[in-house]
């Protein structure tokens, strides 16, 4: 058997209001679900879920417990031109650029300290054609 698609990518942040500002307002993701336990963002082909780990770790909930401290990692696709735009955009909102490797990738931290990267799929040897249809 073969798993075919990642449906849910998950990060953890105790301060969901701060996470909402970062991912919805600064990164422009579409928030489609918001509870006191988690935020759900919908991307074209997958979901980003951000849980409050103090809740998701509890063992008295219907779903199995999960959740960890901060400092996990995620990367979003971006072209080299978009990486420059992200750099200016995020700096303009007082987000510290942790590292920018000559324009080919960009690293910042979300409010929980998770490492958020913008990177070109071509750096992984992956070809893609347009903003809308990467990985086609």
Tokens of 52: 């409050």
Sole binder of a copy of itself in the list 14, 21, 55, 75 (CB under 8 A): 75
- Asked whether the beta carbons of 131 and 79 are under 8 A apart, the reply is yes
- CA distances to 2, 16, 30, 93, 122 from 84, rounded to whole Å, are 37, 28, 22, 15, 16
What's the closest the beta carbon of residue 74 comes to a copy of itself, in angstroms? 6
CA distance 77 to 11: 17
Does position 68 interact with a copy of itself (CB under 8 A)? The reply is: yes
Does 60 engage in binding with a copy of itself (CB under 8 A)?
no
Contact residues for a copy of itself, defined by CB under 8 A = 1-10, 12, 27-29, 40, 42-49, 51, 56-57, 63-78, 82, 85-86, 89, 98-99, 107, 114-115, 117-119, 121, 124, 126, 131-132, 134-135
């Amino acid at each position: 058997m073969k798993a075919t698609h990642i449906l849910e990518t998950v990060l953890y942040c105790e301060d969901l209001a701060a996470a909402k500002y970062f991912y919805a307002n600064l990164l422009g993701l579409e928030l489609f679900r918001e509870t006191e336990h988690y935020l759900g963002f919908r991307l074209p082909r997958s979901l980003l879920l951000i849980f409050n780990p103090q809740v998701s770790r509890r063992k008295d909930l219907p779903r199995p417990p999960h959740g960890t401290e901060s400092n996990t990692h995620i990367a979003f696709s971006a072209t080299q031109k978009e990486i420059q735009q992200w750099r200016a955009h995020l700096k303009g909102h007082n987000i510290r650029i942790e590292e920018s490797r000559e324009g080919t990738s960009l690293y910042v931290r979300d409010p929980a300290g998770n490492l958020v990267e913008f990177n070109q799929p071509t750096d992984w040897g992956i070809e893609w054609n347009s903003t809308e249809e990467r990985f086609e």
